[in-house]
Amino acid sequence: MSGAPGTTGPRTLRVGVVGIGHLGRHHARLFQALGRGGAGCELVAVADPSEAARQHAEATYGVPAFADPAALLGKVDAVSVVVPTKLHREVASVFLEHGVDVLVEKPIARTAAEGQALVDLAERHGRILQVGHVERFNPALRGIEAIGRSARYIESHRLAPFTFRSTDIGVVLDLMIHDLDLVLALVHSPIRSVEAFGGAVFTPAEDMASAIIKFENGAVAHLTANRVALKPLRKMRVFSRDGYASLDFQTGQGMVVTKAPGWDFQQLDLEKLDRAQMGDLWKFVFDGLLQLKQLELNAGNPLQEELDAFLRCVRDRSRPLVTGADGVAAVAAAEMVLAAIAKNRWE
């Protein structure tokens, strides 16, 4: 394929987007912006079964739009697959089989087995397969890596108003999957057990879910997801022996609290401390005993970072930050949550 990595031809990567719905439009817009910004790519075509979506794309991005994704074959070196989850395996397979690198939105597929089939296909054809777990590209996560490596307890709350999108899947694969992926990336240990509860409210699938996940290394994660909330909420807290991190993705606030150098609580004689003479107790604790670091959660554009990272992987054939295997692991964890929910299904 002309222009594909490792062959002769133009260095500019030809990129396409399959699925120009709410999220797919952001992919197309950002690919076009990255190309204009010198990222060495060009948005050359899109595909969507909706005539209205195709007309909007042609008018907005100035590129041809096709009803059939296969029409992009021969025109692109890499694609973003942003279609309903039930179509991920079918659409991504078409491109992987024809030598096109793929970024597939999360979750990688409806089931871990379907996701593994994509991983195997990508390996067989030597293609890049990246999964769109965009939270991994939030700069705040780099600020909690040290805490995360020794995490003992993680809790997350991910709530959203009902949007009528992603109704082909339940809230576990729609929203909780973000935090399942983050927890797996932080803990790095096999899951030992899962307890979960959830149920349907507006759709046939579960619209709210809560799960307690225990890992082989002793870590525990308590995750809650709800897509019928009145207001959005995205919070995560991580506790370890080394400190504590709190992230509020909705307000853009975050902090990390760690022990000060030389911390030794056992040597601290509490009986001799005169609190009345301390003045500001907060200053005593956080200037003398602990260290507080504020995090900037709203810095940068995680989706743009994700797409730019995908382009770099396509160009230099490097391993993506979020691999197909990572995507499969997240879906496998989701299946464990769903199996636990099934045991406690409400009528």
Q: What is the pLDDT along the chain (347 residues), one digit of tens a residue?
A: 444 444 434 479 999 999 999 999 999 999 999 999 988 999 999 999 999 999 999 999 999 999 999 999 999 999 999 999 999 999 999 999 999 999 999 999 999 999 999 999 999 999 999 999 998 998 777 767 777 778 999 999 999 988 777 677 899 999 999 999 999 999 999 999 999 999 888 887 889 999 999 999 999 999 999 999 889 999 999 999 878 999 888 777 888 888 766 555 555 454 554 555 445 545 545 555 677 788 776 667 899 999 999 999 999 999 999 999 999 999 999 999 999 999 987 65
Residue 40: inside a domain, yes or no? yes
Residue 25: inside a domain, yes or no? yes
Give the Cα separation of 243 and 204 in Å (integer).
Answer: 41
Residue 334: inside a domain, yes or no? no
CATH number at residue 44: 3.40.50.720
Residue 51: inside a domain, yes or no? yes
pTM: 0.87
Q: Tell me the sheet residues that pair with 46.
A: 17, 65
Residue 266: inside a domain, yes or no? no
Q: How far apart are the first and last CA of the chain?
A: 54
Number of domains in the chain: 1
Q: Where are the beta strands (DSSP E) in the chain?
A: 13-18, 41-47, 65-66, 78-81, 101-105, 129-132, 151-159, 191-199, 208-215, 220-226, 233-240, 243-248, 253-259, 290-296
Domain range for 50 is 13-135+303-321
Residue 182: inside a domain, yes or no? no
Q: Name, in order, each residue with C-beta under 8 angstroms of 30's C-beta and a sequence gap of 6 or more.
A: 301, 303, 304, 307
